[in-house]
Chain A
């Protein structure tokens, strides 16, 4: 229902937006910029350079060379002139977010990669972050007295403060890591609404450089709203991005207005580059799916998995993980879906070998031991080095 309202608003506004002319933004500084050694900005950069050294070697960084090259290529197509000033790091964090530090270090969270449907949508977010950088938004925030004082109190909190964020058990250290520290900083430096609007506008302007369809920009927010609605969840819950960014409904309207204004004045690009996007994501897709499942937010995950299935992305793998989702959710009325998704999975060449194990376990629990044995045999045939080999053989012998 909310979606429909937004759609209505959008169409009304886009009709009335004929008079609106898109104003092009320009960077605050030239490429290869580094701050003067003495200023506050230099101090800020030094902190970020330190953090970046650790993030480079973080066990939570996804080190996939091809994917890194691909993301860099998007960045360079969006802003050829400044591309050498940025470094992209892919971080294993299943929530939707991306961040840009004032020194040009950009983080892309894995949850964003699972939720962008194509290159144009991901480029919208990357372009938005480039926009923050080119307009020096973090420095502007830092120069704000308020931000400065909270930054100082943040620094003095140190490790002692971070321990208090510990979860269930106090014994696993929750000492502030660089990733958490950056997260904290991001929330302290959360940009103003005007900064966000400007970054959105910059992002959509940059899409043109890459020849990407700017009508995709608003869709990423529409999808996020739909995902939250699927879970009957408040839009701001659980997402750092929503907590620190303006209302997505308003962004959708603004982004569509910008896109319309640009497209009326010039050439309309229709490339979304969905194929190349998923070709690059596929090697890490099982990891993205598993991390998503580990959040145990089944309704939202179901929405995401089904969206990928609708777009025919890795159907063998996606059917398998949908089956896993329904199995883990454990709702009685969904149990018939478990087996049916596993069986659909094996119809596609890209099904993972684990689907045979899952099917074997279903048969084993139903005491259909000979059928279970067939599936387990397939699993071990395809996966002779499986780390649960001895356990699977134990199941097979027990049934025999």
Chain B
């Protein structure tokens, strides 16, 4: 445990050195998403963000991060610049059950992680579009248990997705409400 805390502190120190751009609370546009935030976030520079995608954090990317993935088209992988032979690709006819696999598999292969627990998969609306959300826990090489919350919808045959990842200890519970506020206020541009 002590070593895990030490690891976390080290990561905080590392991330603290990066120049973060503040994302003020209020209305924000991120690619195809228009959202409202209830608190302040920081934009992680692309070279440190999840797969180079637009990603926000409150306390540092390894502790909590919120990634916006927009306009994934038929035949594309979820993360850009990933090997299509290895990574699952999106198909416009996929059902939520299959999209869960697409997201999980992308994360597992990217982090060399294992799923340790699965939460509920439910239908939700995202800005009038029929979508779904789900959560799961995973453990990567650093052996820290993280929790992911994913909200997604297919609009105009493209996949739009919000991905929240945080350590299971402390950070997930601390931020999940503000993440759900963002999802509940989100609209997807046509």
Interface residue B105 (Cβ < 8 Å from any Cβ of A): yes
Check: B181 CB closer than 8 A to any chain A CB. Answer: no
Q: Which of B29-37, B94-102, B150-158 contacts A (4 or more CB under 8 A)?
A: B94-102
A296 to B145, CA, bound (A): 22
Q: Does A29 contact B (CB under 8 A)?
A: no
Q: Does A237 contact B (CB under 8 A)?
A: no
Beyond A328-B88, A387-B120, A390-B122, whether A177 also contacts B105 by CB under 8 A is: no
Closest A residue, CB atoms, query B86? A296
Q: Are A175 and B61 in contact (CB under 8 A)?
A: no
Looking at B134-142, B170-178, B182-190, the stretch in contact with chain A turns out to be B134-142
Contact A171 B49 (CB under 8 A): yes
Q: Quick check: A296 and B109 within 8 Å, CB to CB? A: yes
Tell me if B10 and A390 are in contact (CB < 8 A). no
Q: Say yes or no for A346: interface residue by CB 8 A criterion.
A: no
Give the number of residues in B that approach A within 8 Å (Cβ atoms). 58
Q: Is B17 an interface residue, CB under 8 A from the partner?
A: no
Distance of B87 from chain A, by nearest CB (Å): 8
Instruction: Tell whether, in the assembled complex, residue A361 and residue B143 are in contact, meaning their CB atoms are under 8 Å apart.
Output: no
Q: How far does the Cβ of B9 sit from chain A's closest Cβ, in whole Å?
A: 10
Q: Is B68 engaged at the interface, CB distance under 8 Å to the other chain?
A: no
A59 to B139, Cβ gap below 8 A? yes
Q: Contacts A390-B120, A390-B123 given; indicate if A172 touches B62 (C-beta within 8 A).
A: yes
The yes or no answer to B70 lying at the interface (CB within 8 A) is no
A230 at interface, CB cutoff 8 A? no
CB <8 Å contact, A391 and B122: yes
Query: Which residues of B sit under 8 angstroms from A357, Cβ to Cβ?
Result: 97
Restricting to B18-75, which residues have a CB under 8 Å from any CB of A? Answer: 44, 47-52, 55, 57, 60-62, 65
Q: What residues of B have a CB within 8 angstroms of the CB of A59 in the complex? A: 116, 139, 143, 145
Cα A46 to Cα B70 with chains together (Å): 50
Flag if B95 contacts A364 (CB, 8 Å): yes
Within 8 A of B (CB), among A195-227: none
- A169 on the B face (CB < 8 A): yes
Would you call A54 an interface residue if the criterion is a C-beta within 8 Å of the partner chain's C-beta atoms?
A: yes
| B16 interface residue (CB < 8 Å to A) | no
A136 contacts B by Cβ under 8 Å: no
Write out, one digit per residue, whether chain A residues 90-110 have a CB within 8 A of any chain B CB (1) or not (0).
001000000000000000000
Contact A361 B97 (CB under 8 A): yes
Interface size in chain A (residues, C-beta < 8 A): 38
B97 to A172, Cβ gap below 8 A? no
Q: Are A294 and B123 in contact (CB under 8 A)?
A: no
Beyond A163-B14, A388-B120, whether A175 also contacts B7 by CB under 8 A is: yes
Pair B97/A171 contact, Cβ less than 8 Å: no
Q: Is A58 engaged at the interface, CB distance under 8 Å to the other chain?
A: yes
Determine if A13 is an interface residue (Cβ-Cβ < 8 Å). Answer: no
How long is the Cα–Cα vector from A313 to B88 in the complex, in angstroms? 29
Q: Which residues of A contact B61 (CB under 8 A)?
A: 169-172
- With A167-B111, A296-B109 in contact, is A178–B143 under 8 Å at CB? yes
Does the CB pair A365–B108 fall under 8 Å?
no
Q: Does A60 contact B (CB under 8 A)?
A: yes
Establish whether residues A365 and B123, one from each chain, have CB atoms under 8 Å apart when the complex forms: no
Q: Hey, which chain A residues are within 8 Å of B145, CB to CB?
A: 59
Residues of A within 8 A of B88 (CB): 296, 328
Cβ contact within 8 Å between B122 and A171: no
- The yes or no answer to B149 lying at the interface (CB within 8 A) is no
Distance A168 CA – B97 CA, assembled complex (angstroms) = 25
Chain B residues with Cβ below 8 Å from A361 are 95, 97-98
**Which of B62, B112, B115 meets A171, CB within 8 Å?**
B62
Bound Cα distance A171, B60 (Å)? 8
> CB within 8 A of B50: which of A171, A175, A290, A294?
A171
CB-CB under 8 A from B112, the residues of chain A are 167
Complex interface: chain A residues within 8 A of B62 (CB): 171-173
Is A229 an interface residue, CB under 8 A from the partner? no
B48: chain A residues at CB < 8 Å are 169-171
| Chain A residues positioned under 8 Å from B111 (CB to CB) | 167-169, 172, 174
Shortest Cβ distance from B27 into chain A, in angstroms? 25
What chain B residues lie within 8 Å of A165 (beta carbons)?
A: 141
Q: Give chain B nearest CB distance to A44 CB in angstroms.
A: 19
A167 and B115 CA atoms in complex are apart in Å by 17
Across the interface, which residues of A come within 8 angstroms of B7, CB to CB?
Answer: 159, 173, 175
Most chain A CB neighbours (cut-off 10 Å) among B7, B8, B49, B116: B7
Q: Which residue of A lies closest to B2 (CB)?
A: A54
* In the assembled complex, A49 has its CB within 8 A of some CB on chain B: no
A364 to B97, CA, bound (A): 12
A391 and B132 in contact (CB under 8 A), knowing A175-B11, A296-B88? yes
New A-B pairs, 17, CB < 8 Å, besides A172-B140, A175-B11, A391-B121: A168-B79, A169-B61, A169-B111, A171-B44, A172-B142, A173-B8, A174-B111, A177-B141, A179-B141, A294-B114, A328-B88, A328-B101, A361-B95, A388-B134, A390-B120, A390-B122, A391-B97
A-B pairs, 9 with minimum CB distance: A171-B61, A388-B121, A177-B143, A168-B110, A173-B62, A175-B7, A390-B122, A394-B123, A169-B50
Q: List 12 A-B contacts (CB under 8 A).
A: A60-B143, A168-B79, A169-B110, A171-B57, A174-B142, A175-B10, A177-B142, A180-B141, A296-B88, A361-B98, A387-B118, A388-B134
